[in-house]
Structure 1
């Protein structure tokens, strides 16, 4: 599912935001932050507003500070810099499809491996969740998190092969709670895949990265999602899938 809610509360893009650096990585302009000697990496796949969104880069900084090599590649705008519009969103998707994002993410993963990274997790937001769920159907990554997903189907979830966390919003017309519950049921039918599903009460689609800094309540709810995301991604530092659920449930 997708719709106008994917375009609500657009951020003010800032190419200079964040504590990290922007460089070409895997053939894409990417925002990077984290310890250079880490063998753990997390790819953050943006929503429809791309890798220059300040709140997304703040989150990448948190991921880097937790010991991961955080990479936010430009999977949205490098082919076509058109900014999404709620009135023409369907047309926009024709030239900014997550299928293209999936293909473009593969060289990023290869570049991480060539750097000596041995464990890779991925988190996707809205549009980016579809990219991440496609990656999780193959041995490209070792853990995945979908946050207020868009364009994701139950069939997608049925194809997942790595530990998966889904963080949904109560007020979400794109992936409403009843759809997230269908995702949960599909995961429960796959006992070989460790999973965690949570619906955030009072939150709307996009709450984790499109909040206003002056709204203390919104910041707090976003930070809760960020903590859940990080706890779940810690699973990539161990071979024991059971610890994935333990990390998440102790949030």
Structure 2
């Protein structure tokens, strides 16, 4: 996660948004959506704004409608980044939310899912490098990185990882819904994500 666009176009979070509900998984509050009978799960590793972003939940619901059980856990434990907090700029906030801790939490979520009978797990990362670490540890079967940062080619070599890039960092879950071109680019990325997980998890 780096660069001036990382925190651009912050969402207006809404804990009531989405068609899913909250559930404890691996010790984390998690937004879950889709049929609990599905044996295929996609975990969303959110950006710094967390799992209450309405467009993120809208995408989770879209993936769920394709037959997946989707989980967006609160890896920041109620402490998502607040851009208006002048006393805690992003560099300071990141010191409290390093990838190592998020990896441990992600591993706990994956283990909780597998213990409940889930047969295949994929993960979509919206910047956060944790998806790569879960893949390298063979905890997930497929991954999609949307506007990733702090990731090298060696990190994903030989793994089922799709990497999507754009000049606009917020293009998939923080786009301007009134910008037709931005909506079109987001929809294309969402279709690519679905195609990837359909191919490698189903």
TM class by shorter chain equals over 0.9
Of 171, 191, 198 in structure 2, the residue corresponding to residue 227 of structure 1 is 191
1:217 aligns with 2:173: no
Deviations along 1:133-167, one digit per CA (max 9) or x if unpaired, are: 11110110000000000222344234xx5311000
CA shift, 1:235, in A, is 2.8
Question: What is the aligned partner in structure 1 of residue 6 from structure 2?
Answer: 6
CA RMSD of aligned residues (A): 1.8
Distance 1:85 1:100 in 2: 25
Q: In the superposition, relative to structure 1, how do residues 210 and 79 fare at CA in structure 2: closer, same or farther (>3 Å)?
A: closer
Distance 1:167 1:86 in 2: 30
Deviations along 1:85-105, one digit per CA (max 9) or x if unpaired, are: 697222211101122211111
Deviations along 1:16-44, one digit per CA (max 9) or x if unpaired, are: 00000012111101000011211100001
Distance 1:123 1:214 in 2: 25
- Kept after mapping to 1: 8 A contact 2:50/2:80: no
- Kept after mapping to 2: 8 A contact 1:133/1:157: yes
- Kept after mapping to 1: 8 A contact 2:126/2:146: yes
Distance 1:49 1:80 in 2: 9
1:20 aligns with 2:17: no
Question: What is the aligned partner in structure 2 of residue 165 from structure 1?
Answer: 162
Question: What is the aligned partner in structure 1 of residue 69 from structure 2?
Answer: 69
Q: In the superposition, relative to structure 1, how do residues 149 and 37 fare at CA in structure 2: closer, same or farther (>3 Å)?
A: same
Of the two structures, which has the highest relative contact order with CA contacts closer than 8 Å and spacing of 6 or more?
2
Distance 2:80 2:124 in 1: 23
Deviates more, 1:94-103 or 1:225-234: 94-103
Matched residue pairs, number?
200
Question: What is the aligned partner in structure 2 of residue 94 from structure 1?
Answer: 95
Runs (4+) off by over 3 Å: 79-82, 84-87
Structure 2 counterparts to residues 12-91 of structure 1, below 5 A: 12-76=12-76, 78=77, 80-84=79-83, 88-91=89-92
Q: In the superposition, relative to structure 1, how do residues 82 and 208 fare at CA in structure 2: closer, same or farther (>3 Å)?
A: closer
Question: What is the aligned partner in structure 2 of residue 179 from structure 1?
Answer: none
Q: In the superposition, relative to structure 1, how do residues 123 and 64 fare at CA in structure 2: closer, same or farther (>3 Å)?
A: same
CA shift, 1:79, in A, is 6.5
Max Rg structure: 1
Distance 1:13 1:81 in 2: 10
Distance 1:38 1:236 in 2: 15
Q: In the superposition, relative to structure 1, how do residues 152 and 75 fare at CA in structure 2: closer, same or farther (>3 Å)?
A: same
